[in-house]
Every structure is written in C-alpha cells, then in structure tokens.
C-alpha cells in the first residue's frame, strides 16, 4: 500500500471513486476516516469493531481502508472485499456481495443474516476463523482464477 502524507500529516491512500454517470477516477481516502467512524461510537461497539478491523487487516494486510456507502470498507485492487457497520442494537459484517453467505451456510447458521449483512452482538467480536472464511470466499468471487 502506498501511503502519502496529506493535510496536517494525515496518511492518505489512493482509492477509486465512482462519480455520477459511472465515471471512475482515482482519489484519496484518509485512513483516518475509519478512526473517526469508530471514535463516534459508544463502548462496547467501538472496541468490538476495532477488533474486527484488526482481524480483517491481519487477513488482508494489503487492503486499503476507507468509507464506502458511509461505512468502513476494505478494498483490494479497487474492489470492496469486506466492511462493517454499527447499528442501535447490533453490529454487522458486510461482505459487499450477496453470494458469500449461501456458500458458508453452516459457518453463519448461528448468526442472523440477510443477503448483504451478518449481524452479531455489540460485545462479541466475530471469530477470526469465520472472518478468514468470509474474506476467502469474497476474494475468490472478486478475483476468479483465469
């Protein structure tokens, strides 16, 4: 990941921005945006999502962090692979694909899922092996072999 210093020394990372009309351009997203998202949350939501953030970055250290659809997202080669969000009574893991959970039916059976979100308690981080499987499936979808 190529970082460069932006305003007041904040680290900034390149990302793809899609403008109206489908035009895509490269812009910069401050890695501090996720820090701010988390800072605005009350405990235990903040620490639970911070643990998830660190787990995601352990699994895909090359990921670029940023905000997509107003929530934290992790991109690899411009494609969003994972994300998360906080809600009033739960947290969500977001695979940014509606076809991840059906492939992991047994692994996600104990969680409430919709097509695009897996809900988990505000005080109980997702297990690392589950996050690894979710990301592995999403990466295989985003970057199919030849």
* 3-state DSSP of 69-132: CCEEEEEECCEEEEEEEECCCCEEEECCCCCCHHHHCCCCCCCEECCCCEEECCCCCCCHHHHH
pLDDT of 30 reads: 55
Question: Which residues of the chain have a pLDDT value below 50?
Answer: 1-29
pLDDT of 146 reads: 54
- Ordered by start, the domain boundaries in the chain are 31-142
Structural domain 31-142, CATH architecture? Alpha-Beta Complex (3.90)
């Amino acid at each position: 990941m190529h970082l460069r210093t932006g305003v007041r020394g904040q680290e900034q990372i390149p990302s793809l921005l899609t403008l109206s009309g489908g035009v895509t351009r490269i812009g910069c997203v401050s890695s501090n945006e996720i820090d701010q998202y988390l800072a605005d949350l009350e405990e235990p939501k903040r620490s639970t999502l911070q643990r998830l953030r660190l787990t995601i970055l352990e699994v895909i250290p090359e990921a670029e962090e940023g905000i997509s659809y107003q929530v934290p997202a992790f991109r690899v080669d411009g494609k969003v692979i994972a994300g998360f969000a906080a809600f009033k009574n739960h947290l969500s893991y977001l695979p940014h694909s509606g076809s991840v959970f059906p492939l992991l039916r047994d692994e996600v059976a104990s969680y409430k899922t919709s097509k695009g979100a897996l809900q988990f308690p505000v005080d109980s981080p997702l297990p690392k092996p589950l996050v690894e499987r979710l990301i592995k499936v999403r990466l295989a979808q985003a970057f199919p072999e030849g």
